Amino acid sequence: MAWDTERTKQLLLDAATAEFSEHGLAGARVDRIAAAAGVNKERIYQYFGKKDELFATVLAEVLRESMDAVAPVGSGPEAAGDYAGRLFDHHLADGVIPRLIFWEGLERGRAAAENPARVAYHAEKVTRLQTMLPGVGREAAGELLLTIVSLVNAWPVLPQLDELMVPAAAATRASARRAAIVATVTAAAAAAIDAARD
């Protein structure tokens, strides 16, 4: 029977996603990834190279899936707010991206910005947001996107701050936080459009 390379790669990527999300880059173990995938660990090196290259591949995959699943649609401040709300919903349903992004920031810092694939991915995201906000320049669109990403990624991985700053019934917190993010992004997008007109 022929070896199913694509299936093996996907098994490894799925296992690596779970491992990196839970333990970060430094804490992740190639042995655990291989065992979870049911694959010899030599396949990891063969298909993906070193552990940090596997981490980069995992992050690129989940970010691309997220961009496809939560596309910016429409135009104007309300569309930007809606996009932020939908991205919050996506990240809340599957907390993998916020965790991976925070691990990356803690362990790789600015070095992650040297990856050409990540540069291209984020340039595309800025362009998509800029298209939603007529007249807004690239830098202002980038600032707004950074605000959106910071807001939607922080809440799932900083639950202690939520509890400390806004102690409330847990059952209502997600919807209240979502509403706050949507309102903040809508206002920021409106301000960016107004500034672009001046």
Output the CA angle 48-53-158, nearest 5 degrees.
125
Beta-strand runs (E) in the chain: none
Instruction: Write the pLDDT tens digit of every residue in 84-101.
Output: 999 999 999 988 999 999
Side chain identity at residue 97, one-letter code: I
Among residues 152, 93, 100, 104, the alpha carbon closest in space to that of 125 is found at 152
Top pLDDT among 144 and 3 is at 144
Can you tell me the distance from the alpha carbon of 24 to that of 102, in angstroms, rounded to the nearest whole number? Answer: 9
What pTM, to 2 d.p., does this model score? 0.89
What's residue 3's pLDDT? 63
DSSP state of 134: T
Can you tell me the distance from the alpha carbon of 105 to that of 54, in angstroms, rounded to the nearest whole number? Answer: 16
Q: How many CB atoms lie within 10 A of CB 134?
A: 11
Asked if residue 1 has pLDDT above 50, the reply is: no
Instruction: Write the pLDDT tens digit of every residue in 42-82.
Output: 989 999 999 999 999 999 899 889 888 998 899 999 999 99
The string of DSSP letters for 148-187 reads: HHHHHHHHHH-HHHHHHHS---HHHHHHHHHHHHHHHHHH
What's residue 25's pLDDT? 92
DSSP state of 76: S
Average pLDDT over residues 136-147: 96
Instruction: Write the pLDDT tens digit of every residue in 97-113.
Output: 999 999 999 998 888 88
Confidence of residue 162 (pLDDT cuts 50, 70, 90): confident
Top pLDDT among 179 and 67 is at 179
What's residue 18's pLDDT? 95
Place of tokens 């459009």: 193
Do 67 and 129 form a contact (C-beta atoms < 8 A)? no
Burial (Cβ within 10 Å: 0-12, 13-18, ≥19) of residue 189: buried
Looking at every residue in the chain, the average pLDDT score rounds to 91
Q: Structure tokens of 95?
A: 């907390």
